[in-house]
Structure 1
Amino acid sequence: MKTVKNTLSVNFYLNKTKVNKEGKSPIVARITLNTKRLQFSTGKVIEESRWNGVKGIAKGSKVEVARLNNFLANFHTRISEAYERLNVQNKLMTLEDLKIVIEGKFNGTWTIVKLIEYHNESQSELLEWGTMKNYMTSQKYLLSFIKKRYGYDDYNLADLNYQFLTDFHLFLRKHKNKRGELSMANNGVMKHLERLCKMVNLAVKLEWLDKYPFAAHQAKFEKVDRAYLSAEELKAIESRRFNISRLNMVRDLFLFSCYTGLSYIDVINLKSSDLTTGVDGAMWIMSWRKKTSVPVKVPILPVASQIIRKYSNSPEVRFTGNVLPSLSNQKLNSYLKEIADLCGITKNITFHTARHTFATTVTLSNGVPIETVSRMLGHSKISTTQIYARVVESKISADMTNLKELLMSQNSKPASYGLRVVKDQEDEIVEDSIEEQEEFVWPNIPKRKAKRIEKSIIRLNNKS
C-alpha cells in the first residue's frame, strides 16, 4: 500500500486589525495543511505590547502570562493529536477533516458528550430521579473541566488516560462556589469520580473503548459519623405538637421512618396492600426497596401503627391508595430543620437521619441483633448495616453490666479447690475454706505469685 504523506504546521499570531475596548487583540491559530491554510480562533486576547510575534507566545513573567502560554501549548497539542488521529487512516487529509475534529465534532468517533447523552437516555428509566440528578451534576463539572483544561466543548474517549482522571480530581478539589469556598469535601469528590468511572466503564461494555483507562484509580472515601437521634431527642420530637398542620405531618412522616427504617422514597410509595399479617399474627410491612429491589419485611411498632391510623381517612391517602400523605424530599428536609430548632436539637437532621435512628436508637440499642436490623433495612450485607447502626455507649454499658452480673452469679459458689482470693497484698490471703488436693494449676496467675500463695496456704495449715 502506498503511504500518503500529509504535512502540518501550526503558528499563533495576533490579529492586530481587531482591537477591543480594553486594547486587546485576538490570538489566532494559523494551521497549514498540505500548503493550504486555515485560520482558527483560540478565544484568547492580549495587548500587542505583551505579544512576542516571532515566537508566537505571550511575553512576561506574570502568572496570567504563564497560564496563557500553557493554554496555547495545549491548543497546539490538540491540533497535533487531531492531525495524528486522522493521519493513521493513510489518506489525503483536507482542512475540513481537520476542522471537524478540532471543533469537537469528532466525526465518526466516540466522545464524552456522546457518552453522556447515551448514558442519560438509556439509564433514565432505570435510575431514580435523584440519582440521575447527581449524574447530571457530575457531568456539568466534567464538561466545565474539559473546557477549562483543554479549551474544547468535548473530548475524545480514545484520549482518556489516568492523567485525565487525576487532573479532573485536582479540578474538583480546587473548585470553589460563588462565595469563594471549596465546593465539596473528599467524599463529594470521590462520588463525582465514581460516576465518571461508571460512565467510562459503560463505554467499554459498549465497545466504544478497547480497554478501561482508569484501572489504576482507587477511590478513597473517608468514614463519616452519620447523624442519628438519641432516645431523648427522638422523644422530644414525638411529644412536640405544632400549631402548623404541615409541621405535624412532616413530624409524623419522619417518626414513621424512625420506627420502620424505610427510606424517603419507600415511605412515600408505601401502599395499603403492603400492610399484611405476619407470622406472629401482627401487622407487618412487606414490600420491596425502590433503590435495590431487595425485599423488606418489618413488623409495625406501636408509634408507626398510630401514625397509619391517624391518616387512614385522609382524602389524599384514600385517593392515592398510599399509606401516608406525600411531600417532596426537599420540602421535608427544609421543614425538619425548623422542627429540630423548635425541639432544641442542634444536629443537622434530614429525612435520612430517621433511617439511621431506626438502626441505632430504636433497634440495636434495645438489644435487636444486627442481623435482624440488616434484614429489616433491606441490606444484603452486614457491612452496609454497620454504616447505619452504631453501638452507643449506653448499650456498651448495659451489655457489660449484664456480663458482670452473669460472672458474679457463676462465681457465687467456692471454687473446686476451696480457696477464694478476695485480696492479695503483702502475702496476706483471706480464706473461705481450704481443702486438700494432690495437684492444682493456678489459672492466669504467674508462677512466682502462685508459689507465694502455696506457701501461705501451707503456713495457714500448719497454724491450724
Structure 2
Amino acid sequence: MPPPSRDFPSSPPRRVSLNLTFAFHQSSALEYDELHCQLVIDDQAVPCYGSGIYLLRSLWNTARQQAQGPTREARLVNQYLSDIRADHWGILLNLRRSGRVPTATLIRHYWCSGEALSIRLLFLFEEYLTQLNQVPLPERMTQSTLYKWNRGYHLLKDYLDRKQNQDFAINQVTIGWGKSYYQWLRQRPLSVDSASRYIGQLRELLKYAVEHELLSHNKWKEWHLTAQPAKIVQCLSPTQLRQLEELSLPDQLDTVRKWALLSCYTGLDFKDAVRLVSSPADYLVQLPIGEKIVIRRQKFQSVHQAPPDWGVSHIPLLPEARQLLEQAQQWPAVTIQRVNRNLEAIEQQLGLHFRLTTKICRKTAGALFLLRGYRTEAVQKILGIQHLRTLERNYLHLYNELVDENIQRVESRNRT
C-alpha cells in the first residue's frame, strides 16, 4: 500500500494580518455611545463601521480594548466584542475556503450584511484531510485508511475538473449531484464497495460542515444508497481444484500451478506463501493432533500502527499442503506478476468464467475449509479476516453446498 500523498493544498495559504480594534466615533460627544469597528487587513484599512454595541464612555479602556469594572454590563460587552472578533476571523477563513483573497473591504461587507459565503467543497476536503493527518498517535487513522481518504480527494478533484467546476460549493451538494457522482465512480469502473466508501467520505464532510456551522443543513442526511446484493467471491469449486491438480502442464506452468495450489490449501497471500516456503520451521507449530501454520499476514505490517491480532493466521496443515511444502524447497523462484500472468493460460485450459489469480486461490481456501466442516469463526482466523460478517457475506453462496454436505454426513452416520 503506497503511503498517503501529502500534495494538498497545492501551496500553503499566505499569512494574513488581521487587526480589529474598537473606538467611539470622534465626532460624537454622547456619553452613552456606539463602539465602532476599526479593521485593518495587511495594512489596508476601511472606514469605521458600527459594532452594534453601546457603552458608557467612562467604562471603556482604550489601551486594553475592553469595558472595565465588575458590572454585568461590562462583562456582557466584553463577551459581545470577543464574539465580533471571532466572527471577523471566521469570515477571513471562509473567504479562503471559498477561494477568494481576504480583504478588509470584503470582510466588512460580509460581516455587515450577514451574507453567507459559499465554501468550496475541495477546500473543505483539504482542510479535513489536514486534520486527519494531524491527529496524534495512536488515535490517528491507519496509513491504509488515510490513503483511501487521499484517494477520495483526488477522485473528487478529477470529477470536478472534468465538469470544469472546481469552485463547486458545499451548499450545491444535492442528492441528485451525489447520485451523478456515484454513477461516475461506478463507471471508472470502481466496485460497489469502493464507490460507496467515497460517497461515505463526502457524507462525513457534510456532517463536519454542519458541526462547524459552515452549512445549515445536511441534504444527504436522509439519503441512503440502494442496498446492493452481496458480492460474490469467485473461487475454485472442489471439482475445479481437482482438475487443476490433474492438468498436464509444461514445467513453467507446473511451477506456477504448485504455488497456486499452496495458496488454495492454506489461504496464504503469495508473499506469505513465499515466506513459509523459505523457512517452514519458523511458522509450523506442532499440536497433539497435528500441525498448524501460524503466520502474521505481511499485508498489515506497514499499514497498522500496531500489528492487529486478527491479522495473525492460524492455519491447519492439510495433507495436500504438507505434501506441497515437502517439495517446495526445489521450486524455482517466481514473482507474483509471473504467477498471475501464467495462471491466465491455466484458466483457459480449465475453461473458467472468471479470472484466475493468486487472490482467487486464497478465496478458494476459505471455501475449502468451510466445505470440509470448519466453522466460520475458525475460517475467519485461518484467513486472518477482521470481521466475521465479511466472511459470512462473501461466502453466502456456499451455504447451500454446506447444507447438502451436512445432510450427506448425517445420513451416512445414521446408516452406520
TM-score range, shorter chain: 0.5 to 0.7
Q: TM-score normalized by structure 1?
A: 0.51
Partner of 1:236: 243
AA matched with 1:307? L
Partner of 1:127: 143
Partner of 2:254: 248
For 1:390-409, list aligned pairs within 5 A. 390-403=397-410
Partner of 1:288: 296
Deviation per CA, 1:406-438: give whole Å up to 9, x if none: 7789xxxxxxxxxxxxxxxxxxxxxxxxxxxxx
Deviation per CA, 1:323-376: give whole Å up to 9, x if none: xx5424xx543332221102232333332222321122x222122222322221
Partner of 2:345: 338
Q: Unpaired runs of 5+ in structure 2?
A: 1-34, 40-45, 47-94, 111-116, 301-306
Structure with the higher helix share, 1 or 2: 2
Deviation per CA, 1:176-199: give whole Å up to 9, x if none: 97xxxx73464442133245557x
RCO greater where, 1 or 2, for CA within 8 Å and sep 6 or more? 2
For 1:153-164, list aligned pairs within 5 A. 160=170, 163=173
Mapped contact 1:284–1:300 kept (Cα < 8 A): yes
Mapped contact 1:276–1:286 kept (Cα < 8 A): yes
Give identity over the alignment, percent: 16
AA matched with 1:171? Y
Aligned length: 304
Mapped contact 2:185–2:195 kept (Cα < 8 A): no
Partner of 1:258: 264
Partner of 1:227, secondary structure, is coil
Taking structure 1 as reference, are residues 175 and 363 closer, same or farther at Cα in structure 2, changes over 3 Å only?
A: closer
Taking structure 1 as reference, are residues 282 and 87 closer, same or farther at Cα in structure 2, changes over 3 Å only?
A: farther
Mapped contact 1:257–1:355 kept (Cα < 8 A): yes
Partner of 2:323: 306
Partner of 2:284, secondary structure, is strand
Following superposition, the deviation at residue 259 of structure 1 comes to 0.7
Taking structure 1 as reference, are residues 268 and 83 closer, same or farther at Cα in structure 2, changes over 3 Å only?
A: same
Taking structure 1 as reference, are residues 89 and 345 closer, same or farther at Cα in structure 2, changes over 3 Å only?
A: same
Q: Distance in 1 between matches of 2:272 and 2:390?
A: 18
Following superposition, the deviation at residue 224 of structure 1 comes to 2.0
Q: Flag the structure with larger Rg.
A: 1
Taking structure 1 as reference, are residues 235 and 163 closer, same or farther at Cα in structure 2, changes over 3 Å only?
A: same
Match of 1:141 among 123, 132, 155: 155
Q: Distance in 1 between matches of 2:273 and 2:213?
A: 40
Partner of 1:193: 199
AA matched with 1:229? L
Asked if residue 267 in structure 1 is aligned to residue 273 in structure 2, the reply is: yes
AA matched with 1:183? P
Q: Distance in 1 between matches of 2:346 and 2:133?
A: 37
AA matched with 1:305? R
Match of 2:125 among 84, 103, 112: 112
Match of 1:327 among 336, 351, 371: 336
Q: TM-score normalized by structure 2?
A: 0.55
Partner of 2:314, secondary structure, is strand
Q: Distance in 2 between matches of 1:146 and 1:233?
A: 46
Mapped contact 1:162–1:217 kept (Cα < 8 A): no
Partner of 1:363: 369
Two-structure CA RMSD over aligned residues (Å): 5.0
AA matched with 1:252? K
Match of 1:171 among 153, 177, 181: 181
Partner of 2:273, secondary structure, is helix
Partner of 1:352, secondary structure, is helix
Taking structure 1 as reference, are residues 355 and 194 closer, same or farther at Cα in structure 2, changes over 3 Å only?
A: farther
Mapped contact 2:265–2:365 kept (Cα < 8 A): yes
Partner of 2:235, secondary structure, is coil
Following superposition, the deviation at residue 301 of structure 1 comes to 1.6
Taking structure 1 as reference, are residues 298 and 176 closer, same or farther at Cα in structure 2, changes over 3 Å only?
A: closer
